[in-house]
Amino acid sequence: MPEYLPTAPTRGTRDFLPAEMSVRTQVFGHLYEVLERRGFLRYDGPILEPAEIYEAKSGQEIADQQLYTLTDKGGRRLALRPEMTPSVARMIAGNAKSLSFPVRWYSHPNCHRYEKPQRGRVREHWQINADIFGSDSANCEIEIFELIHDLMTALGATPDMFAVRVNDRNLLSSALLDLVGVSPEHLSQVFALVDRWEKLDRDKLAEGAAEIGLSDKQFEKLSEVLGAGTALLDELPEHAKENSNLVKVLASGAADLVRFEPIIVRGLAYYTSTVFEVFDTSPENRRALFGGGRYSDLASLFTPQQITGIGFGMGDVTLMDFLDTHGLTPAPRSEVDVMVVPVVEELLDAAREVAKSLRQAGLRTSTPIELRKLGKELARADKAGAAAVVIVGQEDWAAGNVTVRSLATREQRQVPTAEAPAAVQALLS
């Protein structure tokens, strides 16, 4: 017996058969529409980038543990992109002279990270990225938060199904330094601990705090700070709040779009101030769906010009889990609206002519590739989800007619060939 290669996809990757691809096309189509209605322009870039751009700015976990790297024949160290933000920062920096800032861009890249496959995590995913570049205004934050709500609404979500949890890393730094008494050299380590706060039990958190060098009293104060919510703002010094865009958002009419939570920190190293995560509120799927934040100096890898940005990446895996959890996943579309079936091979050209008129009317239409008996073709049309079949018979065609048959009611009637599109559209409506 021959030894065949496996048919399963590589671990951590997925095949999308037509039914699943139909669902994804519908979901992402809604998101594209929302983004473009708000003036975001779509872009794309290479899947291979210099490994250094991720090692410099994406954070230790991605750079050391999750990056797929290779050395090409020219000796260059390259990586499969694990995320899009460093790439778009490169593109913005390289084209800054021709851009009129601020700009709104979005993309839908394929990204790769070497992770342990589990619910919500795979090694290859697709991600909607949306960013605003070239403005320090708090209006950018407001627009991003409005956009998130618009995107979720377009998918059928109601405000009780998700929460936009927000923080400002500068506010958190002030809280850690001024209230908890963390030394500046330990700040990054405490940030890393905070990033794992909801994933570890209290004993593990206390152990981690002790390893950093925090006293028991400091650990208790840290716990208090992280659970304080908006009350924390009253404890912070004014100089820490006066330049915070998030404080401005919380004082604006957009405050009801978000929930201030000091525990949100985000693990990516390039975030500099505002950070946020969108959480599923269902007890069955209580987890972060996607997130983002503001980065003031990411473009500095490529240019001396400071180009600030804010944005987020919405991954497909957690998004589809969210839709499934809340019963919002759309049904796959049928293969076609209508099939045109000739009763004999000599009428295949006639069937193609009728099909052409139906397609010109906007109907998804197919004709047989290999003609079978009429009963089998009707069964095939029914399985394909067609609402109607147009039957091209010899006597009907000679008289300038075709038969339009409803697959739902099994009723059929003869119509002039030119009226076939209108007859089928009437059935569909």
Looking at 135-271, list the stretches that DSSP marks H as alpha helix, in order from N- to C-terminal side: 138-154, 169-174, 187-195, 202-212, 216-226, 231-235, 238-241, 245-250
CA-nearest of 256, 274, 257 to 265 is 274
pLDDT score of 116: 83
Start and end residues for every CATH 3.30.930.10 domain found in the chain: 18-325
Q: Are 296 and 272 spatial neighbours (Cβ–Cβ below 8 Å)?
A: yes
Class of domain 18-325: alpha beta
pLDDT digits (tens, 9 = 90+) for 159-186: 999 999 999 999 999 999 999 999 999 9
Question: CATH 3.40.50.800 in the chain, residues?
Answer: 338-428
In the prediction, which pLDDT does 191 show? Answer: 92
The C-alpha atoms of residue 190 and residue 63 are separated, in whole angstroms, by 20
For the 338-428 domain, the top CATH level (class) is: alpha beta
Q: Is the peptide bond before 102 cis (omega within 30 degrees of 0)?
A: yes
Whether the CA torsion 74, 80, 81, 82 is positive or negative: it is: negative
Give 200-232 pLDDT, tens digit per residue: 999 999 999 999 999 999 999 999 999 999 999
**What pLDDT is attached to residue 258?**
98
Annotate 259-305 with DSSP letters as a single string. Answer: EE-TT---S-TT--SEEEEEEE--TTS-SEEEEEEEESSGGGGT-SS
Q: Which residues of the chain have pLDDT under 50?
A: none
